[in-house]
């Protein structure tokens, strides 16, 4: 059985760096998208188990990526975690409306995030 | 006709009038007034046309031609003026609750009781004979109607006629008392009386027209026939011309003046036009309706007169009674009866209205003061004052009976001795004596009580001497020699030619001298002395009535507490000292006063009177002078002669201060409204600023979170993984350091921007070599350029003029623009950046150009806003802090320069700035 496949979407290389390290260490397969456009391509090609999405990106924002994902029935198994510096109530609500499973404001606790990713994954994993 | 039949019809008619008046009163009670309209108002004004008009006009026309028109021309000419004068009088009387011409004049001149009595006296003496004339007309018409035809054509006042006149008078007295003097409140309107009078006016018009048409078309073949036949007779044709019958232009002028005065000031006209006026606006219609009435009723006078003269060639008939005699002679007794009822209408309406007006005057200005003075010593306690109200009513009823009795007595006793022909005009001349004081009072603030009294007295005396005295010579009451040679042989004092003034007719002569003395004394005495405070106050209330606000009177009255001594003095003046003391003590028993110092102490401040005492005093005075005058007297707080000047001036000043305060309040209110608007605006601005601040803060924290996130995540990784590879470990630690630096840079920028925005930033200016600054800036970003392999094009000419500026700040600007350019350029070696400087006449222009991805035109302004994306958050995340360009712009603006961008997407951008030499 293959390990869970995680997509990390963020335009901040340093954040991607830390997330990538964490996911790999937990034994997940990791793909990376550096902006919204790359993220759309990636979700179209692969059915990820978890997508960790930044919201503010230069081209296509995280909401759009999430909505796009939720429109594809074949991606129903994908879990979406918003990871954003936008921390207002309205932003969080908007994130859940777009179809997120979880909204985590930045800066985040690495331990908590890893637990939450674990919980979102199917028990078999 | 049978006298009983005529009597029956007369009383039947009067009963009908009762019915009409009663119905009107019932309608008033049901609040559906029949009287409140301009038509009834105009018709009631036609009370001007008395029996004198009804019978006398024809008589005068038969002998003097067109002269009769004079007394109707005056009111007609007066009509347009009525809007000015009459409306003002109505307004004043309404505001001050005045109910007669005597009230009006006395109130205007310091509320003088003496003046009121004088005016009342003049009115009674001038008008009672006029009422007698009406009674005589009733008797004479009754006489001619009931006389057996063919016996004697000359009228003779036999016992039956006198008797019918007496019964009519009694009936009219009854009517007047029932409908005219019903309540103590003299200001109350008498709607029943007014409607009855209006109906009578209508009836007399119809009856007179019937008589005229009967003569013109029944006895002749129309107007043309009457006039043609009259013109054929030389003695009649001379009547066609204005002066043919001997009426001079002076006489015409006198007639106009007299009738104009009369229409305004005759007590009955004052009653219907002013006191009974329901609505000022009714005056608009009445202004032309009333003259129209006068014209219509006079249309048929000449045909009647000529017809009478033509048919009665022998001169057997009294021309005054042609109206009745012609139909009778032609064998139409029923028509004559109808015409007789018209004449009865004219006479009775005049008698009723005139009597009401005179009775109110007599009660207020003669009887009540007398009654109070006579009974005051015997008065016992407050109950006496309660009786005074009833006494007022009784005194007014008594006055009605008195007036009618006087008139009837005059008719029965003197009427035989004196010719009554000219009584109407002489009566007009008496009333005309009021013209100077009334007009002066309306438009001139300088008139005084002394002037008005002297003027009236003199005018009245001259009137009596020149106009009444000569009429007494005929019956032998005065020796004829007085007329021809003057009293005691002094020819200068001849009543018909005072000081040798001859060539005028008696009326013009009398009016000239009476008015000359009247006006002269009025003006002379008024100018000689300053009006008293009260007179000034009243003058203002009268002359400025249209400028005073409606509620003005109320505010100046009870609110200002008048000093007790003044109120006491007022009461003493009217009630006597003893009664006043009793009354005040009685008042104190009911309302125990707070401890008051003894007023006999001259040093004591006068204690103010209780407002309840003022109300009490008003009631006391109402019995004496009528409620209107009483209220007026108290309104000004004191009305006696020794009025304290300070007090009235105080009231005046207080009301002026109130007005001023009111004006100030309005001004302040406007200012407050303005301020509220400004506050609202400021609040909106603040809220917007606040919102901006919120967004700014939000964006700042958002920007701070990004490096913070990396730092925290990496630190946690380092902590949780002590067994990390050395290279990873190094990489993570280095990143933490870099992100920390980014964090502090950001904080510095935010603080910088805050400094610029709050205006606390200052420039450290010196003369700069801009080329030098450009070189330094390029050096600072040199590594970035090399990293991205960017080609640099430099266009900095040598010998540029020095620019005053802050070197470090301008460095910041250039570095910022250059690093933005670097960021936008591709790193594949195709990137190009151009930097140039250019000297203009006023300053230097610098530009930084790149061939990067460019900026869409809609953002050309917005990019200079701090965190401009804060309001466009889903669009794109800026590269860098989002503060650089905002700070750059601030610095340029501090140098009095400007910055702008030219760019298209994918075609690079060119940022230019202009810096002036002289800022």
pLDDT at site B757: 78
For the residues B45-73, what does the mean pLDDT come to?
83
DSSP, collapsed to helix, strand or coil, labels residue A8 as strand
For the residues B133-145, what does the mean pLDDT come to?
83
Contact between B404 and B131 (Cβ < 8 Å): yes
A11 touches chain B (CB under 8 A): yes
* pLDDT by position in tens, chain A (length 125): 789 999 999 988 889 999 999 999 999 999 999 988 999 999 999 999 999 999 888 778 899 999 999 999 888 889 999 998 888 888 899 999 999 999 999 889 999 999 999 999 877 64
| Mutation for A interface: B698, B703, B705, B707, most A CBs within 10 A | B705
Q: Give, in order, the Cα–Cα distances in Å from A120 to each of A9, A112, B506.
A: 17, 12, 129
Domain ranges of chain A: 5-120
Q: Flag if B720 and A87 touch (Cβ within 8 Å).
A: no
Cα B594 to Cα B610: distance, rounded to the nearest angstrom: 10
- In 3D, which of B885, B768, B751 has the Cα closest to residue B818? B885
For the residues B37-66, what does the mean pLDDT come to?
85
Model confidence pLDDT, tens digit, residues B527-569: 988 887 777 877 887 888 787 654 333 333 344 455 666 666 6
Cα B791 to Cα B408: distance, rounded to the nearest angstrom: 132
pLDDT at site A114: 93
Q: Does CATH place domain B766-916 in 3.40.50.2300?
A: no
For B692, counting Cβ atoms within 10 Å of its Cβ (0-12 exposed, 13-18 middle, 19+ buried), the class is middle
| Contacts A35 to B, Cβ<8 Å | none
- In 3D, which of B72, B396, B415 has the Cα closest to residue B258? B72
Q: Give, in order, the Cα–Cα distances in Å from B149 to each of B51, B142, B688.
A: 23, 13, 107
Angle formed at CA B436 by CA B434 and CA B439, multiple of 5 degrees:
100
- CA-based nearest distance A109→chain B, Å: 7
| Contacts B731 to A, Cβ<8 Å | 17
Contact residues for B25 (Cβ-Cβ < 8 A; gap 6+): B179, B191, B192
Which chain B residue has the Cα nearest residue A14? B710
pLDDT at site A110: 92
pLDDT at site A30: 95
Contact between B903 and B855 (Cβ < 8 Å): yes
| Contacts B873 to A, Cβ<8 Å | 56, 86
Share of chain B above pLDDT 70, in %: 80
**Would you mind telling me the total number of residues written for chain A in this entry?**
125
For the residues B741-754, what does the mean pLDDT come to?
84
| Closest CB from B708, B717, B876 relative to A58 | B876
DSSP string for B378-443? G--SHHHHHHHHHHHHHHHHHHHHHHHHHHHHIIIIITTTS--TTHHHHHHHHHHTTHHHHHHHHH
For the residues B366-384, what does the mean pLDDT come to?
59
For the sheet containing A79-84, what is the strand order? Answer: A29-33, A5-9, A50-53, A79-84, A102-105
Domain ranges of chain B: 3-374+385-433, 434-540, 549-643, 655-757, 766-916
- In 3D, which of A74, A58, A54 has the Cα closest to residue A10? A54
Tokens 């005699």: give the residue.
B325
Pairing assessment for the beta strands B791-795 and B843-850 based on DSSP bridges: unpaired
Q: Which residues of B846-878 are buried (b: 16+ CB within 10 A; e: fewer)?
A: bbbbbbbebbeeebeeebbbbbbbbeebeebbb
Task: Look up the ipTM and state it.
Answer: 0.93
Q: Structure tokens of B588?
A: 């104190």
B706 touches chain A (CB under 8 A): yes
Cα B103 to Cα B363: distance, rounded to the nearest angstrom: 11
Q: Give, in order, the Cα–Cα distances in Å from B551 to each of B96, B112, B494.
A: 12, 25, 54
Q: Flag if A14 and B702 touch (Cβ within 8 Å).
A: no
Q: Structure tokens of B124?
A: 């009674």
The interface residues of chain B toward chain A in range 875-894, judged by CB-CB distance below 8 A, are 876-877, 879
Q: Flag if A111 and B710 touch (Cβ within 8 Å).
A: no
Residue B379 pLDDT greater than 50, yes or no: no
CATH number belonging to domain B3-374+385-433:
1.20.1730
- Reported as half-sphere exposure (CB side, CA atoms, 13 A), residue B590 has a value of 11
Residue B652 pLDDT greater than 60, yes or no: no
pLDDT at site B603: 47
Share of chain B above pLDDT 90, in %: 11
Beta bridge partners of B129: none
The interface residues of chain A toward chain B in range 80-99, judged by CB-CB distance below 8 A, are 85-88
Cα B615 to Cα B593: distance, rounded to the nearest angstrom: 15
Pairing assessment for the beta strands A102-105 and A79-84 based on DSSP bridges: parallel
For A82, counting Cβ atoms within 10 Å of its Cβ (0-12 exposed, 13-18 middle, 19+ buried), the class is buried
- Fold (topology level) of B655-757: Helix Hairpins (1.10.287)
Q: Give, in order, the Cα–Cα distances in Å from A76 to each of A101, B3, B347, B678.
A: 12, 125, 113, 57
The mean-pLDDT minimum among B44-53, B345-354, B421-430, B838-847 falls in B421-430
Q: Give, in order, the Cα–Cα distances in Å from B352 to each of B12, B169, B343.
A: 17, 10, 14
Confidence at B152, pLDDT banded by 50, 70, 90: very low
Q: State in words which class domain A5-120 has.
A: alpha beta
Which chain A residue has the Cα nearest residue B704? A85
| Closest CB from B702, B710, B728 relative to A14 | B710
């Amino acid at each position: 059985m293959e390990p869970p496949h995680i997509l990390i979407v963020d335009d901040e290389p340093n954040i991607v760096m830390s997330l990538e390290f964490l996911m790999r260490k937990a034994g997940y397969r990791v793909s990376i998208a550096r902006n919204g456009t790359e993220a759309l391509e990636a979700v179209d090609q692969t059915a990820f188990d978890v997508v960790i999405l930044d919201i503010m990106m230069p081209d296509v924002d995280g909401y759009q990526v999430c909505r796009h994902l939720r429109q594809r029935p074949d991606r129903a198994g994908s879990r979406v975690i918003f990871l954003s510096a936008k921390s207002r109530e309205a932003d969080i609500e908007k994130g859940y409306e777009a179809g997120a499973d979880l909204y985590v404001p930045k800066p985040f606790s690495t331990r908590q995030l890893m637990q939450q990713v674990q919980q979102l994954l199917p028990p078999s994993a | 006709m049978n006298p009983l039949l005529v009597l029956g019809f007369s009383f039947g008619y009067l009963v009908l009038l009762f019915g009409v008046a009663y119905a009107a009163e019932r309608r008033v009670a049901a609040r559906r007034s029949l009287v409140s309209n301009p038509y009834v108002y105009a018709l009631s004004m036609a009370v001007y046309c008395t029996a004198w008009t009804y019978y006398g006009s024809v008589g005068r026309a038969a002998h003097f031609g067109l002269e009769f028109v004079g007394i109707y021309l005056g009111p007609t000419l007066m009509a347009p003026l009525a809007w000015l004068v009459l409306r003002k009088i109505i307004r004043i009387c309404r505001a001050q609750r005045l109910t007669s011409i005597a009230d009006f004049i006395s109130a205007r001149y310091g509320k003088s009781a003496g003046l009121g009595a004088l005016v009342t006296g003049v009115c009674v003496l001038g008008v009672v004979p006029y009422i007698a004339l009406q009674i005589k007309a009733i008797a004479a018409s009754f006489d001619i109607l009931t006389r057996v035809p063919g016996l004697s054509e000359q009228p003779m006042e036999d016992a039956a006629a006198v008797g019918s006149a007496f019964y009519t008078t009694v009936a009219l007295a009854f009517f007047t008392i029932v409908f005219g003097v019903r309540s103590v409140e003299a200001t109350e309107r008498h709607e029943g009386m007014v409607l009855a009078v209006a109906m009578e006016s209508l009836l007399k018009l119809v009856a007179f027209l019937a008589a005229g048409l009967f003569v013109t078309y029944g006895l002749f073949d129309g107007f043309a026939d009457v006039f043609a036949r009259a013109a054929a007779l030389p003695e009649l044709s001379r009547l066609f011309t204005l002066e043919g019958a001997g009426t001079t232009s002076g006489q015409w002028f006198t007639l106009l003046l007299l009738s104009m005065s009369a229409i305004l000031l005759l007590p009955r006209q004052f009653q219907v036009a002013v006191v009974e006026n329901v609505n000022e606006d009714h005056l608009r219609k009445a202004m032309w309706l009333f003259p129209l009435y006068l014209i219509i009723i006079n249309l048929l006078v000449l045909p009647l007169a000529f017809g009478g003269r033509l048919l009665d060639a022998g001169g057997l008939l009294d021309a005054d009674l042609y109206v009745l005699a012609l139909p009778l002679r032609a064998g139409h007794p029923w028509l004559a009866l109808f015409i007789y009822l018209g004449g009865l209408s004219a006479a009775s309406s005049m008698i009723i209205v005139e009597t009401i007006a005179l009775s109110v005057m007599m009660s207020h200005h003669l009887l009540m003061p007398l009654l109070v003075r006579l009974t005051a010593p015997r008065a016992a306690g407050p109950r006496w004052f309660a009786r005074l109200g009833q006494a007022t009513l009784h005194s007014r009823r008594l006055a009605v009976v008195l007036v009618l009795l006087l008139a009837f007595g005059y008719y029965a006793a003197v009427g035989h001795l004196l010719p009554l022909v000219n009584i109407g005009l002489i009566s007009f001349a008496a009333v005309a004596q009021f013209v100077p004081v009334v007009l002066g009072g309306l438009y001139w603030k300088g008139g005084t009580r002394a002037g008005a009294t002297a003027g009236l007295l003199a005018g009245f005396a001259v009137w009596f001497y020149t106009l009444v005295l000569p009429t007494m010579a005929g019956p032998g009451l005065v020796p004829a020699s007085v007329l021809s040679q003057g009293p005691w042989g002094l020819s200068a004092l001849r009543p018909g030619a005072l000081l040798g003034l001859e060539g005028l007719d008696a009326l013009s002569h009398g009016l000239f001298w009476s008015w000359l003395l009247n006006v002269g004394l009025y003006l002379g005495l008024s100018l000689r002395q300053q009006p008293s405070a009260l007179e000034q106050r009243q003058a203002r209330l009268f002359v400025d009535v249209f400028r005073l606000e409606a509620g003005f009177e109320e505010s100046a009255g009870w609110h200002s507490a008048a000093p007790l001594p003044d109120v006491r003095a007022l009461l003493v003046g009217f009630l006597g000292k003893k009664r006043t003391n009793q009354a005040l003590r009685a008042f104190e028993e009911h309302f125990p006063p707070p401890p008051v110092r003894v007023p006999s102490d001259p040093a004591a401040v006068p204690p103010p009177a209780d407002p309840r005492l003022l109300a009490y005093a008003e009631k006391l005075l109402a019995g004496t002078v009528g409620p209107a005058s009483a209220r007026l007297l108290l309104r000004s707080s004191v009305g006696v002669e020794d009025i304290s000047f300070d007090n009235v001036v105080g009231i005046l000043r207080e009301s002026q201060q109130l007005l001023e305060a009111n004006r100030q309040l309005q001004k302040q209110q406007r200012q407050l409204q303005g301020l509220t608007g400004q506050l609202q605006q400021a609040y909106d601005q603040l809220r917007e600023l606040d919102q901006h601040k919120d967004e700014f803060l939000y964006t700042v924290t958002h920007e701070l979170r990004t490096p913070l996130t990396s730092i925290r995540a990496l630190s946690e990784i380092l902590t949780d993984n002590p067994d990390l590879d050395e290279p990873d470990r190094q990489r993570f630690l280095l990143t933490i350091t870099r992100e920390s630096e980014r964090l502090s840079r950001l904080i510095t920028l935010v603080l910088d921007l805050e400094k610029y925005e709050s205006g606390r930033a200052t420039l450290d200016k010196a003369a700069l070599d801009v080329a030098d600054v450009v070189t330094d800036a390029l050096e600072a970003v040199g590594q970035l350029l090399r990293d991205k392999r960017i080609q640099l094009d430099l266009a900095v000419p040598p010998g540029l003029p020095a620019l005053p500026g802050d070197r470090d700040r301008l460095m910041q600007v250039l570095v910022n623009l250059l690093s933005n350019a670097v960021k936008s350029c591709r790193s594949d070696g195709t990137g190009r950046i151009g930097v140039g400087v250019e000297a203009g006449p006023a300053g230097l222009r610098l530009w930084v150009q790149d061939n990067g991805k460019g900026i869409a035109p809609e953002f050309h302004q917005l990019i200079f806003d701090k965190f401009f994306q804060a309001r466009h958050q889903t669009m794109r995340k800026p590269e860098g802090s989002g503060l650089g360009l905002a700070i750059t712009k601030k610095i340029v603006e501090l140098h009095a320069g400007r910055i702008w961008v030219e760019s298209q997407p994918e075609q690079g951008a060119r940022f230019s700035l202009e810096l002036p030499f002289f800022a």
